Structure 1
Amino acid sequence: MDKVAVVTGGSKGIGLATARTLRAEGARVVVASRKSSAELDALAGPGLVHLPVDLTDPEAPAAVVAHAVDVFGGLDVLVNNAGGPPPGVSLPRFSFLPLTDGDWREMFDFNLFSAVRACRAAIPVMVERGGGAIVNVSSAVARQPGTMNVDYSAAKAAMTNLGKALSEEFAPQGVRVNTVSPGPVRTPWWTDEGGAADVLAAAFGSDREAVMEQVAPEAMALRTGRLLDPQEVADVIALLASPRSASTTGADVLVDGGFHKGV
């Protein structure tokens, strides 16, 4: 894959696995995130660079696209992976009523508007280049909302809708836009101290390892019986970004361990 790619939120979890996979496939990669990580530093080199940015800054997504053009000469692939809990926020949250307007704004800034701004910057570059591929990382809860994390679910539902709309407008100009909707993935969102595993352990009177190994998979009726591995999502992202998916656009691909039950 002799392409130039941008991966947002690429210092850990799904984004890190995606950056590693795209680089292994031959793409030159710009990773955008607030901070790097030891794992990302190990990948850095002439074909992979890190740009430290706060993607909730309205100017940051365009700066990332411009950096890819400056360093590698263009942009062919955009993976809008940044998302999850905004800085300083612990998820899950269990009710709608305590959420303030500020909570909603923070959630949408991080999970939707960062992608909107990145697409706005990337699409003209891709069109001028003759085409490209955008993969937006949404969530299975965009299709199957519940009482937890209602603001996050709503932001991801908007992300899924965005992908469909952009595909409709820009596929005739050679820009494919697809969405990947993961279920629960064993990432730092779950495993960090104070993360989802600890929050759920306190709520269910369990411990963090039991939550990740048994409680959460059972509560979410994951038919595979386990949380996902980030690489399993990254592999689908890489496929949708590649020429092997040349006729796939406007799709929303679930990678969720059987969480979503609807037809």
Structure 2
Amino acid sequence: MGMLDGKVVLVTGGSRGQGRAHALTSAREGADIVIVDVAENLPTVTYPMARTDDMTATVEAVEALGRRIVAMEADVRDQAQLDAAVARGIADLGQIDVLIANAGIWTQAPFYELTDDQWEEMIDVNLSGVWRSAKAVAPHMIERNSGSIVMISSVNGLEPGPNFAHYTAAKHGVVGLMKTVALELAPHGIRCNSIHPGAVRSGMTENQMAFDMYAGGPGGTIDDLIKAGKHYGALKGSTFMAPETIANAALFLNSELASSITGITLPVEAGHLLMAGVNVSPVD
């Protein structure tokens, strides 16, 4: 018996990385899947984003597990596209039991150098996109008096991060959104929680922008990323985590094991938030 037998799970940003891990982990536990992804680059994002072939690979992997899947290209900045994906999922698979609002982007610049476009696109994807996703599934879940929503935030939804104020602001905003959604939907038997990943290997982190950040300058490599990850967590042997680590946390929150858990922030970060930290660039 799987932990999600008979359930249908909708994953935004489901084509690769954490999104694919959520889809496959849920499918292994008996769920049918709906994935949506914009499947194109966004103007302010400097690393390559998921493409249609990534979505196809996720579809094939879910089907190889013997589960059904609906895949649609949809942009979390567009409510009509999300509503259409939910309607398609319900029509083809019968219902939507779970939403994992995973779609997100990451870019860097000091807050005083961010352009309006960078700020607005970040907030529109990483915060407003989560709101739109929850808004798309809420009427159906309310009608059924059942459902679970997991919003993927970040450790930067609980602590600051240098040179990505727009990302940090969006991820902090997800916490307030999650708590309000949890409060409003509790009378309908619907739970809502947020997960706060630490360092995770994915397309968002395995790119030149991230390599250079962790190397401290241009020319960074994957080795710099892994080395930096060893300093990130408190747990022995920790470094950048596999996406499946986050998917397992979502699986717990979406299962009956968490049937009385709602409105919580769940860090998954190898003990990163336990550490006081150091000033790596002191100024006299």
Q: Normalized against structure 1, the TM-score is what?
A: 0.90
Corresponding position of 1:20? 24
Corresponding position of 1:222? 233
Please state if 1:210 is matched with 2:223: yes
Equivalent runs, 1:180-259 vs 2, <5 Å: 180-192=195-207, 194-201=208-215, 203-204=216-217, 207-218=220-231, 221-224=232-235, 225-259=238-272
Equivalent runs, 1:99-118 vs 2, <5 Å: 99-118=114-133
Contact 1:188–1:195 (8 Å) recurs in 2: no
| SS of structure 2 residue aligned to 1:7 | strand
Deviates most, 153-162 or 224-233:
224-233
Contact 1:168–1:250 (8 Å) recurs in 2: yes
Deviations 1:96-116 (A, max 9, x none): 111122211100111011111
Deviations 1:41-70 (A, max 9, x none): 322546112111122223222222112111
What code does the residue aligned with 1:258 have? G
Which of 51, 58, 77 is 1:40 aligned to? 58
Contact 1:61–1:114 (8 Å) recurs in 2: no
Instruction: Return the alpha-carbon distance in structure 1 between the equivalents of residues 247 and 159 of structure 2.
Output: 22
* Consecutive unaligned residues in structure 2, runs of 5 or more: 40-51, 277-284
Instruction: Return the alpha-carbon distance in structure 1 between the equivalents of residues 175 and 194 of structure 2.
Output: 6
Corresponding position of 1:11? 15
Please state if 1:64 is matched with 2:85: yes
| Structure 1 moving runs of 4+ over 6 Å | none
RMSD: 1.9
What code does the residue aligned with 1:34 have? V
Please state if 1:139 is matched with 2:154: yes
Deviates most, 205-214 or 116-125:
205-214
| SS of structure 2 residue aligned to 1:32 | strand
Which of 27, 33, 54 is 2:75 aligned to? 54
- 1:187 Cα deviation after fit: 0.6
Deviations 1:115-173 (A, max 9, x none): 11111121110111121000000000111103221100100100111111111111121
What code does the residue aligned with 2:10 have? V
Compared CA separation, residues 152 and 72, structure 1 to 2 (3 A): same
| SS of structure 1 residue aligned to 2:148 | strand
Instruction: Return the alpha-carbon distance in structure 1 between the equivalents of residues 154 and 200 of structure 2.
Output: 10
| SS of structure 2 residue aligned to 1:49 | strand
- 1:39 Cα deviation after fit: 3.3
Deviations 1:67-109 (A, max 9, x none): 2111111111000000123xxxxx3x24111112221110011
Which of 261, 274, 283 is 1:261 aligned to? 274
- 1:209 Cα deviation after fit: 2.3
Alignment coverage as a number of residue pairs: 253
| SS of structure 1 residue aligned to 2:78 | coil
| SS of structure 2 residue aligned to 1:69 | helix
Deviates most, 228-237 or 29-38:
29-38
Please state if 1:123 is matched with 2:138: yes
* Consecutive unaligned residues in structure 1, runs of 5 or more: 86-90
Corresponding position of 2:46? none
Instruction: Return the alpha-carbon distance in structure 2 between the equivalents of residues 207 and 117 of structure 1.
Output: 36
Q: Normalized against structure 2, the TM-score is what?
A: 0.83
| SS of structure 2 residue aligned to 1:250 | coil
What code does the residue aligned with 1:238 have? L
Instruction: Return the alpha-carbon distance in structure 1 between the equivalents of residues 28 and 189 of structure 2.
Output: 25
